[in-house]
Every structure is written in C-alpha cells, then in structure tokens.
Amino acid sequence: MYDFLLGVMLVLSVFIIIVVAMQPTKTQSASNAFLGGASQLFGKQKARGFEAVLIKTTVVCIVLFFGLAIALTRIL
C-alpha cells in the first residue's frame, strides 16, 4: 500500500509541475512600471476558459498531494 501511494504521489507531483508551468503569467508590459499597477486595479477580471480550468486543476492536485503526504506519514 505504501509503495502504491508513493507512486501516485510521484505521478501527481510531476503533473503539478506541468500544470503550474502551463499557467500564463499575470504581468503586462512595461506600462505597469509607469502606471504603478493602476490598470490592474480597475481591469481586474475573473479567470475564464483555459486559465480557470488550470487554476481549479492546480488546487485539486495540491489538495490531493497534501492528503497523500499525510496518509503516507500515517502509514509509516
């Protein structure tokens, strides 16, 4: 059982790395340096489409990762 959970945790950790690397950056161009981020204050929007799916997938994977970590420590 321990070896199976450890294998699942390994696969899950690689999947988390891939999902986090696929997320788009939040920075805009050099205009943020001059505007002081005011465009983000008024232009804040909810994530939609692919970005929203990536955020939800990341949260679920990280919760599973920590759940598996706790389960692995209880098994030992």
In this predicted structure, what is the pLDDT of residue 41?
56
pLDDT tens per residue, range 30-39 = 555 565 555 5
Q: What is the mean pLDDT of residues 46-50?
A: 82
Please report the sign of the dihedral spanned by the C-alpha atoms of residue 48, residue 54, residue 55, residue 56: positive
| pLDDT greater at residue 4 or residue 33 | 4
* pLDDT of 23 higher than 60: yes
Q: What is the mean pLDDT of residues 34-56?
A: 72
* pLDDT of 28 higher than 90: no
Q: Which residues of 48-72 are buried (b: 16+ CB within 10 A; e: fewer)?
A: eeeeeebeebbeebeeebeebeeee
pTM across the whole model: 0.73
